[in-house]
Chain A
């Protein structure tokens, strides 16, 4: 059965449907892979071996009884640990929620179950999805399967590492400023952040509610299309989910787009960009040109990336994001009060404010505290106009730039991250430098548009490279088809780390 975990989710689903592989064998193969690999990678916070085997046996029984298989029947998946499940824990990799049993399933969990997917476990993340390396986890430090001395990216680092190390067929992540796309880039997988409102957020533990989206981390673009088709759709339990039809993303995937207009973002393509990453973007532009696409230079002045004399990156979009996201976080995380659920101090306290303050001091890690504090500051009396309101105005300018760009282009081509996977501990002392990891991904969240990170081969030092495509709102079909065009021509996808082979 050694080949089972090498199949893509789509191939595995078809093999199970054809009776070539049983869901039970596939699930066992993944559980074995977790058993051997995860000691080094530490991608999973929790696994559900028995439950997964029961689910798989049910799928096999249904198949033997002649039932038509569902879209993901028998496909083993991993969930980021901020997706609520009525089974197991939902910890957000925080001490605050270390014993939290969610009383219900997130909408996406219900959708995956209806589609026949098998949940292998919950994956590690930066605490409450705040970070770009998965080092801000109260549970464990996840290692990049390509080089275990390096981070897998974040915050969906556990999900990305699990996909890359063949410890699940596909995974779910969440993306508030790049948290699906950046770890996908670091681990050599495909990561898709859908349009804001495309996928229900019901049951996703909130960080920045106007920015958060759930999306797939997969080995290839076809699996991304498959998973998005399962996840997308309106949900009356999320008032920000949009009621519009979900296209069959897979059906159109292999049709190349004629007269595709690809925008190359001038401000992202500067001399200061890492040469190999710049090379990957140039190569992608060449691939599109050869496929008959028109390459158009576009400008996103308010997402401009600057480099100062010390090499420090900066951008209006990152500044805007760290006001909007932290303001929303300070409000969302006010619910952790040591009363309703979550950590409560064991010390004797004098009153309710002390109970709140001490429980929160004990339950939250440093980065979460820093962001709650920054958001509280941005929203506080005397600073609201100068920071929060100013950031919302800049957010509009950023969105206007995208609107203008999409008048001329169908998709925009960009780097995903300013660098390949960095070393564990390399940036943990400097929060501001860490924030710059999301410099090319953050604008999409502010504007609400979809983005996908696609593997682009390996760097000279053997680490995954990636390129990013951004699409107009609800243009996932175009985005995925354009991504598939690149993937097909580049021939550098489905990369496998040496430790897995």
Chain B
């Protein structure tokens, strides 16, 4: 891994992917911290990992299946109880169709 340039444009791009609005000032500050943190995690490039199986999980369990039987779940009222805005039995959001993003 070569030295990464964490410029304002890259921070802006990540902020958009992460859906976090940021002022220029915040993006600048984060860019500086990012440069340090990324330089630090680049330490891993010192290690030879050729042929090593990636380990996403500490347990060797996969595809844990439950019996296909209906169980208890939240009522609509419970599921909606914390909604910041609702319209009847629906979560309310601003207009989505026509949004350029």
Binding site for B on A (CB under 8 A): 99-101, 103-104, 196-197, 210, 236, 239-240, 242, 302, 314, 316, 319-320, 322-323, 330, 334, 337-344, 349-358, 360-361, 364, 369-370, 372-374, 376-377, 380, 386-387, 389-397, 399, 431-432, 446-448, 473
A-B pairs, top 8 by smallest CB distance, nearest first, are: A448-B58, A341-B82, A392-B54, A344-B84, A351-B99, A393-B49, A361-B21, A239-B64
Query: Complex Cα distance A391/B100, Å?
Result: 35
A contact residues around B52 at 8 Å (CB): 393, 396-397
Chain A interface SS verdict (over half): helix
| Known contacts A210-B57, A399-B58, A447-B58, A340 near B82 by CB under 8 Å | yes
Is A240 in contact with B1, judged by CB distance below 8 angstroms? no
Is A353 in contact with B19, judged by CB distance below 8 angstroms? yes
Query: Complex Cα distance A461/B53, Å?
Result: 46
**Shortest beta-carbon distance from A250 to chain B in Å:** 26
Given A316-B46, A391-B44, A396-B53; 19 other pairs, CB 8 A cutoff: A100-B82, A103-B82, A210-B56, A323-B44, A341-B82, A342-B84, A352-B96, A357-B21, A360-B19, A370-B33, A370-B37, A373-B30, A386-B1, A387-B41, A393-B55, A394-B47, A396-B55, A397-B49, A431-B33
**Shortest beta-carbon distance from A64 to chain B in Å:** 34
**Shortest beta-carbon distance from B8 to chain A in Å:** 13
Q: Please, which residue of chain B has its CB at the minimum distance from the CB of A348?
A: B94
B contact residues around A354 at 8 Å (CB): 21, 94
Query: Complex Cα distance A446/B57, Å?
Result: 8
Q: Please, which residue of chain B has its CB at the minimum distance from the CB of A104?
A: B74
**Shortest beta-carbon distance from B53 to chain A in Å:** 6
Which range holds the interface residue count of chain B?
35 or more
B contact residues around A432 at 8 Å (CB): 33, 36-37, 40
Q: Please, which residue of chain B has its CB at the minimum distance from the CB of A383?
A: B4
Is A397 in contact with B47, judged by CB distance below 8 angstroms? yes
B contact residues around A357 at 8 Å (CB): 15-16, 19-21
Q: List 29 A-B contacts (CB under 8 A).
A: A103-B74, A239-B64, A240-B59, A302-B47, A316-B47, A322-B40, A350-B99, A351-B96, A352-B96, A352-B99, A352-B101, A353-B19, A353-B101, A354-B94, A355-B93, A361-B20, A370-B30, A370-B37, A373-B14, A373-B18, A374-B34, A377-B14, A380-B17, A389-B54, A391-B41, A394-B49, A431-B33, A446-B58, A448-B58
B contact residues around A358 at 8 Å (CB): 21
Q: Please, which residue of chain A has its CB at the minimum distance from the CB of B92?
A: A339
| Known contacts A210-B57, A396-B55, A448-B59, A374 near B37 by CB under 8 Å | yes
